[in-house]
A and B are shown apart, each in its own frame.
Chain A
Amino acid sequence: METLRRVLFSVLLASAIAQFARGDSPKITAVLTSSEVVVGETVQLQIQIDNAGTSVKPPSEIDVPGLQIHFTGKSTEMRWKNFTASSSITYNYTILPEKSGTYKIPPQSIRAGKDNLRTPELTLEVVDSPRTAAGTGSNRAPSGNTQAGENKIAFAELLVPKKIAYVGEMIPVVVRIGFNSRTRVAEMAPPQVSGQGFTVQKLGEPERNLENIEGGSYVVFNYKTAISAARVGNFQIGPVEQKANILVPRRSSGTRRKPFDPFSEDPFSDPFFALPFGGLMEQHEIDVKSDPVSLEVKALPAGAPPTFSGAVGSFSMTAEANPKRVQIGDPITIKAAISGRGNFDRMDAPELSDERGWHKYPPSSNFKQDDDVGISGTKTFELVVSPNEKLTNVPPLAFSYFDPVKEKYVTLHSEAGPLIVEGNAPAASAIAGTSPSASTPPVPGGQQKTQDILHQINDRGKMVSSFAPVYARKEFWLAQLLPLTLALGVMGWKVQNVRASNRAALRAAQLQHERDELLRKLRRDQLAPREYFSDASRLVQLKTALKQTNIEPGTVDAETAARVFDLNAEQSERMRRLFATSDEFRYSGAGNGESALSSDGRRETLELIESLS
């Protein structure tokens, strides 16, 4: 077992090393958190290197006249996906512009292992007054802190890239919730973006990064979403509120701390780090709240083209029709794919620029998004049309949208595809039995094939009063009374049978009991002759009644007993004598023949009775 465990561990370790060793070549990206900034405010430059390995040398200083650029720290992220490991390092710089103007941040050379990487050139627009930048600049609500001081426990940020938008425009929004890296998040629900007048897309799974911010290390959860204003006006987005349960290292008693700073002492002297799993953490429930962000929403300008259905963004369109050769009335499917970035949920299908000679069917659509929040992607429409006449091409599709960057409506047209339509539209024919009538109105919908319907029926047929299903009719349930009555009848008959059989069984048990009692008395040989013969004849009657259940014991005589038990002549004669003697004792008084009963006579009588079976 131990050997197996070692082998498995070795395999996993080798696999992990191999993953890193054969990782993709390093890639570099550099972004500014805002392309415009006001003099005196800061903007962040982030240089991210993917698959960098460990030997990366970032530029220690970036020199751009007019900008103060300081390195503020780095964050490292490791990812495992489908058993493949990847890592990225992000170097953060803070840029503080000294004066207004347009600045170019030159490409920076960074050595990552054997590769020499270069960042792209970046442009930063610096303006004098905040008002100038407000129109198009980033709309960032800084953190709301739960605790004052340089090192915060947590913060929340709402990043909205615009301050002015159009109705229906999709605006990407990032909600950032950060926790000091020395805490552990025990429980946290997704944050809620509150506000009225706009719709918010569902927040997806957050990206988790370790970031150095103002000298502190934070675990930052980035939630991406998008908002879309539903009406014109000034709105307030947020604040974002977040409740979380976090675990913070327990304060060691007697240690002097700086006021308002729970992490001011040497971290390695903290009991948490001495015994990280020793339960030396305490749980706190904290509320993190960002500042709200204001957004001005403008109405779409007048003069929308007729094919505009509410799409706002930037799109492109391709279309293809198949088949290219059809008969009149045959369906042709036009697949139109609209790609780009915008409010796909409000997008309707493109329309035929010329519908004459065509019959349209309702379109179907399918959306495939390229990002996490559904702003970017491709919406594919399938329009089914059929030609009503001979036509030579499929008319181009027209699709209009409002471009908020260019601030104007754009109409896209697909190319008209060649088409061969064969056949002729048949003329309308008459109904059987009726001549073509001048009073027949033209069929609505223009030219189309007219088929002949079948003749009138002059017999009215069977009258039916109700469309309701049979079980919804009263008669159906009344009809159930018949099988119910039948069932009850069968049940009654069955009960009677059971009762009758019970009575018979009871009677038989009583007779058997009496028979056994009498037999015992006769065998005791102590009875007087009168009583003896009375009991003997009764015993014969009982045995006969038990054998033939429809006979009452009191009605059994010697002849009946002989017949039931199929006795021979001699036995029959003895049976007759038995009954005669019994009758004699019963009706002629106690003195007659009482002394005549010998022990042989008793035995013979008993034998006769016992032989009855």
Chain B
Amino acid sequence: MKPRALLQILVLLLFALPNAKGANDGPSRTGDDLFAKANTEFAAGNFKAAIADYQTVVDSGERSANLFYDLGNAYFRHGDFGRAILNYDRALRLDPHHPEADANLRIARDQAHSLELAPSALEKYLNFGTANFFAIVAAIFFWLAIIWMILRPGRVLWELAGIFLAAICGFAAFTLENGTRGQRLAIVIAENAEARVATVDSSRSVLALPPGSEVVILEERGDWNYAALPNDQRGWIAANAVERVRL
């Protein structure tokens, strides 16, 4: 078997299977109807009703980037910038190249004066790919190195290079997943939220957080979350004041 053919098969398998399984079979009739109804209500200016309908579709599990984008628009029009930003973020999480969600997210952040987390230096270098991208590339490098090791046992340098690249890509995926845009990212949805030094409302404020501000949840303790804040400090935030981007 030629190496090129082997690589093609490997790439095909690694990309095709997760995508095939990750996507649902398709929208249900009920979901479609509800989505269409929500759009009609939005067009009529009934944003509250539109939000309720979009949310029902989201809760049913039939999620898509466009659904979160539309829900974000409804919240924006309703004046709830925190949840609007949250849903634009979710749309971008499902489809990182969603231009409308990206544009509206900028507008909502500007309106809300929300605070953004500064990515670390490493995250800035890795922002050309997503955690998924790096995970798949790591798997490809790994298996190529293994198969190469079996086929040409004497080529240690190539095998080590493959394993090393796989490790680098795995580390990149881990870094992005646990960084400022990763699984612990949450958005402030409450008005007048404040991060405090302790888990009591009367404790000293560390930072006032406008709606839509980003925080990274570090620990959950009852009604409070300990979070990394946009000003490089940490503080306790009421759990109901923030919502994780990931569902």
Nearest chain A CB to B206 CB, angstrom units: 9
The answer to whether A359 touches B18 (Cβ under 8 A) is: no
Within 8 Å CB of B100, what residues of A? 454-455, 457
**In the complex, chain A residues 209-229 whose Cβ is within 8 Å of any chain B Cβ:** none
A460 touches which one: B27, B95, B135 (CB < 8 A)?
B27
Q: Which among A43-51, A319-327, A432-440 touches the partner chain?
A: A432-440
B139 contacts the other chain (CB 8 A):
yes
* Total inter-chain residue pairs, C-beta < 8 Å: 177
**In the complex, chain A residues 435-476 whose Cβ is within 8 Å of any chain B Cβ:** 435, 437-445, 448-471, 473, 475-476
A491 contacts the other chain (CB 8 A):
yes
B231 contacts the other chain (CB 8 A):
yes
A490 contacts the other chain (CB 8 A):
yes
Number of interface residues of A (CB under 8 A): 58
Measured CB to CB, the nearest residue on chain A to B208 is A362
**Known contacts A460-B64, A463-B62, A490-B1; is-contact A440 B77 (Cβ 8 Å):** yes
**Known contacts A460-B35, A480-B139; is-contact A465 B79 (Cβ 8 Å):** no
Nearest chain A CB to B224 CB, angstrom units: 19
Q: How far is the CA of A470 from the CA of B115 in the complex (A)?
A: 29
B9 touches which one: A439, A455, A486 (CB < 8 A)?
A486
Within 8 Å CB of B121, what residues of A? none
The answer to whether B18 touches A483 (Cβ under 8 A) is: no
The answer to whether B1 touches A476 (Cβ under 8 A) is: no
Q: Which among B67-75, B154-162, B214-222 touches the partner chain?
A: B67-75
The answer to whether A464 touches B66 (Cβ under 8 A) is: no
**In the complex, chain B residues 130-151 whose Cβ is within 8 Å of any chain A Cβ:** 131-132, 135-136, 139, 143, 146-147, 150-151
Nearest chain B CB to A359 CB, angstrom units: 6
Measured CB to CB, the nearest residue on chain A to B144 is A483
The answer to whether A464 touches B17 (Cβ under 8 A) is: no
**Known contacts A362-B115, A479-B18; is-contact A464 B150 (Cβ 8 Å):** no
- Which of B17, B22, B26 lies at the interface centre, i.e. has the most chain A CB atoms within 10 A of its CB? B22
- Which of A442, A473, A478, A482 lies at the interface centre, i.e. has the most chain B CB atoms within 10 A of its CB? A482
**Known contacts A441-B79, A490-B150; is-contact A475 B66 (Cβ 8 Å):** no
Q: How far is the CA of A438 from the CA of B77 in the complex (A)?
A: 11
**Known contacts A456-B42, A460-B31, A465-B23; is-contact A431 B146 (Cβ 8 Å):** no
**In the complex, chain B residues 52-78 whose Cβ is within 8 Å of any chain A Cβ:** 61-67, 69-70, 73, 76-78
Within 8 Å CB of A494, what residues of B? 150-151
Q: How far is the CA of A456 from the CA of B77 in the complex (A)?
A: 11
**Known contacts A362-B115, A479-B13, A487-B147; is-contact A465 B35 (Cβ 8 Å):** no
Measured CB to CB, the nearest residue on chain B to A454 is B100
The answer to whether B22 touches A444 (Cβ under 8 A) is: no
Nearest chain A CB to B169 CB, angstrom units: 11
A9 contacts the other chain (CB 8 A):
no
Within 8 Å CB of B25, what residues of A? 463
Q: How far is the CA of A431 from the CA of B23 in the complex (A)?
A: 31
A361 contacts the other chain (CB 8 A):
yes
**Known contacts A440-B45, A469-B177, A483-B143; is-contact A461 B64 (Cβ 8 Å):** yes
- Which of B23, B62, B111 lies at the interface centre, i.e. has the most chain A CB atoms within 10 A of its CB? B111
Binary B-proximity of A153-187 (CB < 8 A = 1, otherwise 0): 00000000000000000000000000000000000
Measured CB to CB, the nearest residue on chain A to B15 is A479
B198 contacts the other chain (CB 8 A):
no
The answer to whether B151 touches A490 (Cβ under 8 A) is: yes
**Known contacts A466-B22, A473-B18, A479-B17; is-contact A458 B63 (Cβ 8 Å):** no
Q: How far is the CA of A52 from the CA of B117 in the complex (A)?
A: 58
Measured CB to CB, the nearest residue on chain A to B173 is A471
**Known contacts A443-B111, A456-B70; is-contact A465 B43 (Cβ 8 Å):** no
Q: How far is the CA of A483 from the CA of B122 in the complex (A)?
A: 31
Q: How far is the CA of A468 from the CA of B18 in the complex (A)?
A: 12
**Known contacts A433-B43, A440-B45; is-contact A482 B79 (Cβ 8 Å):** no
The answer to whether B67 touches A460 (Cβ under 8 A) is: yes
The answer to whether B13 touches A483 (Cβ under 8 A) is: yes
**In the complex, chain B residues 224-245 whose Cβ is within 8 Å of any chain A Cβ:** 231, 245
The answer to whether B111 touches A450 (Cβ under 8 A) is: yes
Nearest chain A CB to B21 CB, angstrom units: 4
**Known contacts A469-B132, A487-B147; is-contact A459 B66 (Cβ 8 Å):** yes
**In the complex, chain B residues 70-114 whose Cβ is within 8 Å of any chain A Cβ:** 70, 73, 76-79, 81, 90, 93-95, 100, 103-104, 107-108, 110-113
The answer to whether A473 touches B22 (Cβ under 8 A) is: yes
A364 contacts the other chain (CB 8 A):
yes
Q: How far is the CA of A464 from the CA of B92 in the complex (A)?
A: 12
B30 contacts the other chain (CB 8 A):
no
Within 8 Å CB of A455, what residues of B? 100
Nearest chain B CB to A357 CB, angstrom units: 15
The answer to whether B46 touches A439 (Cβ under 8 A) is: yes
Q: How far is the CA of A451 from the CA of B42 in the complex (A)?
A: 18
Q: How far is the CA of A467 from the CA of B150 in the complex (A)?
A: 36
Measured CB to CB, the nearest residue on chain B to A476 is B18
The answer to whether B45 touches A439 (Cβ under 8 A) is: yes
The answer to whether B191 touches A444 (Cβ under 8 A) is: yes
Measured CB to CB, the nearest residue on chain A to B246 is A467
The answer to whether A475 touches B17 (Cβ under 8 A) is: yes
Within 8 Å CB of A361, what residues of B? 113, 115
The answer to whether A437 touches B9 (Cβ under 8 A) is: no
Q: How far is the CA of A275 from the CA of B131 in the complex (A)?
A: 73
Binary B-proximity of A288-323 (CB < 8 A = 1, otherwise 0): 000000000000000000000010000000000000
A364 touches which one: B35, B43, B231 (CB < 8 A)?
B231
Q: How far is the CA of A455 from the CA of B112 in the complex (A)?
A: 19
The answer to whether A486 touches B45 (Cβ under 8 A) is: no
Within 8 Å CB of B45, what residues of A? 434-435, 437-440
Nearest chain B CB to A424 CB, angstrom units: 17
The answer to whether B23 touches A463 (Cβ under 8 A) is: yes
Measured CB to CB, the nearest residue on chain A to B25 is A463
What are 24 A-B contacts with C-beta separation under 8 Å?
A431-B77, A437-B45, A440-B45, A453-B107, A454-B103, A460-B35, A460-B62, A460-B66, A460-B67, A461-B67, A464-B23, A465-B22, A465-B61, A467-B94, A469-B183, A470-B18, A470-B136, A475-B21, A476-B139, A480-B139, A483-B147, A486-B6, A486-B9, A487-B143
| Chain B interface (Cβ < 8 Å from any Cβ of A) | 1, 6, 9-10, 13-14, 17-18, 20-27, 31-32, 35-36, 39, 42-43, 45-47, 61-67, 69-70, 73, 76-79, 81, 90, 93-95, 100, 103-104, 107-108, 110-113, 115, 131-132, 135-136, 139, 143, 146-147, 150-151, 173, 177, 183, 191, 204, 207-208, 231, 245-247
Using A455-B100, A460-B32, A471-B131 as known contacts, list a sample of 18 further A-B pairs with CB atoms less than 8 Å apart, ordered by residue number in A.
A361-B115, A433-B43, A434-B43, A441-B78, A454-B100, A456-B42, A461-B65, A463-B27, A465-B63, A467-B246, A467-B247, A469-B177, A473-B21, A475-B17, A476-B139, A479-B14, A486-B6, A490-B150
